[in-house]
């Protein structure tokens, strides 16, 4: 039978069996729970543990590019693709690819590759208004197809370490699944008229943070004016475009604020370690971080814009 020994710290739980005795430190067990509790074993993937892309290149679907762009590969003839200009000379392409290969650890092809910005440099805070009241919202009903989309997204974020299970948050927001649209097509409406419509290509998992955002103190960091940015860009001879891969996920959330990002879905409640879309101050935090990093280059040799 188990019994406790209370003579001095740390508390120890002992299990006695014939000719055997097992000990475990209660304080250690309670202060350092397993990263994935038993209740969430349903999310344990049967696939091997993911490795960084530079060690195990992922299989990616390459989309058709316009004529002025082309794919180059940093590993063999078909792995680790990047997009470069098709107007470069053979020597220019070779030199560019050599530079990219030497720095491919800084490029992300999947969420697992995101190393993130150090918290001492940039951290997202969720500061509340003085008269706020925490809100715990119920989960929303999802059809089987949408539930499967949510499950895959949760698994992906868990595997990448971007979210973690939580059960006692004072804030809980619901998950919503919305269509992902791209391109245009023409459909016939009820009046037999041809009208343009965007094509649904998939589904996107979003968190409805409206109640949290209403109670959040707003960050007034200035965002750039697009027209002024385009005016500064006009007349330049060369342009180079860098697209941040899941840029918001590069920025950590302050540990004391992570539980405020808790969301609920059919598979449990989870909180973010990194900054997700949907938080009202996320654009300002991201803009401020980019300005701090590239302050000596912005408005001279580069511009930064979040869509």
- Is the predicted pLDDT of residue 224 greater than 90, yes or no? no
* Sequence-separated (6 or more) residues with CB below 8 Å from residue 192: none
Over residues 156-205, the pLDDT tens digits come to 999 888 999 998 899 999 999 988 776 666 777 778 777 777 676 778 89
Q: Which of 87, 113, 139 is the last residue of a domain?
A: 113
Residue 306 to residue 90: CA distance in whole angstroms: 33
**Cis-peptide, bond into residue 151, ω within 30° of zero:** no
Are residue 103 and residue 128 in the same domain, yes or no?
no
- For residue 49, the tally of other CB atoms under 10 A from its CB is 7
**Which of 30-39, 93-102, 111-120, 126-135 has the lowest average pLDDT?**
30-39
Using the structure block, give the residue that is written with the tokens 């619901």: 174
Global pTM?
Answer: 0.69
Percent of the chain with pLDDT strictly greater than 90 = 37
Tell me, what CATH number does 284's domain have? 3.10.10.10
Overall domain count for the chain: 2
Q: Is 253 helix (H, G, I), strand (E, B) or coil?
A: strand
Q: Is 85 helix (H, G, I), strand (E, B) or coil?
A: strand
User: How does DSSP assign 234-252, residue by residue?
Assistant: TT-S-------TTGGGGSB
Are residue 66 and residue 208 in the same domain, yes or no?
no
- Is the predicted pLDDT of residue 230 greater than 80, yes or no? yes
User: What's the domain range around 137?
Assistant: 115-294
Kindly state whether residue 44 falls inside one of the protein's structural domains. Answer: no
Find the largest Cα–Cα distance for the chain: 85
Residue with more model confidence, 303 or 86:
86
Are residue 233 and residue 168 in the same domain, yes or no?
yes
Kindly state whether residue 80 falls inside one of the protein's structural domains. Answer: yes
Residue 261 to residue 273: CA distance in whole angstroms: 9
Distance of CA 190 to the CA centre of its chain: 40
pLDDT at residue 6 in the model: 41
Over residues 8-25, the pLDDT tens digits come to 444 444 444 444 454 544
8 Å CB contact between 4 and 24: no
Are residue 175 and residue 107 in the same domain, yes or no?
no
Residue 38 to residue 15: CA distance in whole angstroms: 21
pLDDT at residue 153 in the model: 92
Percent of the chain with pLDDT strictly greater than 70 = 81
Kindly state whether residue 254 falls inside one of the protein's structural domains. Answer: yes
């Amino acid at each position: 039978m188990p019994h406790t020994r209370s003579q001095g710290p740390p508390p120890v739980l002992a299990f006695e069996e014939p000719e055997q005795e097992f000990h475990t430190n209660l304080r250690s067990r309670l202060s350092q729970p397993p990263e994935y509790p038993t209740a969430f074993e349903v999310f344990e993937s049967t696939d091997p543990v993911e490795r960084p892309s530079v060690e195990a290149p992922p299989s990616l679907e390459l989309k058709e590019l316009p004529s002025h762009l082309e794919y180059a590969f940093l590993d063999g003839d078909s792995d680790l693709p990047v997009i470069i200009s098709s107007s470069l000379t053979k020597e220019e392409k070779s030199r560019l690819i050599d530079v990219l290969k030497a720095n491919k650890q800084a490029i992300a092809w999947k969420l697992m590759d995101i190393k993130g910005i150090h918290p001492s440099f940039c951290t997202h805070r969720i500061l509340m208004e003085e008269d706020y009241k925490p809100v715990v919202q119920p989960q929303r009903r999802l059809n089987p197809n949408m539930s499967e989309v949510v499950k895959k997204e949760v698994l992906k974020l868990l595997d990448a370490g971007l979210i973690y299970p939580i059960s006692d948050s004072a804030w809980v927001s619901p998950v919503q699944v919305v269509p992902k649209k791209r391109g245009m097509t023409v459909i016939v409406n009820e009046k037999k008229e041809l009208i343009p419509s965007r094509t649904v290509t998939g589904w996107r998992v979003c968190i409805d943070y409206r109640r949290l955002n209403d109670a959040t103190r707003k960050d007034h960091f200035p965002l750039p004016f697009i027209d002024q940015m385009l005016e500064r860009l006009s007349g330049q001879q060369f342009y180079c475009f860098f697209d941040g891969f899941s840029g918001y996920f590069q920025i950590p959330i302050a540990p004391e604020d992570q539980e405020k990002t808790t969301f609920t879905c059919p598979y449990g409640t989870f909180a973010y370690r990194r900054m997700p879309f949907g938080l009202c101050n996320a654009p300002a935090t991201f803009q401020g971080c980019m300005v701090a990093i590239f302050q000596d280059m912005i408005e001279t040799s580069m511009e930064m814009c979040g869509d």
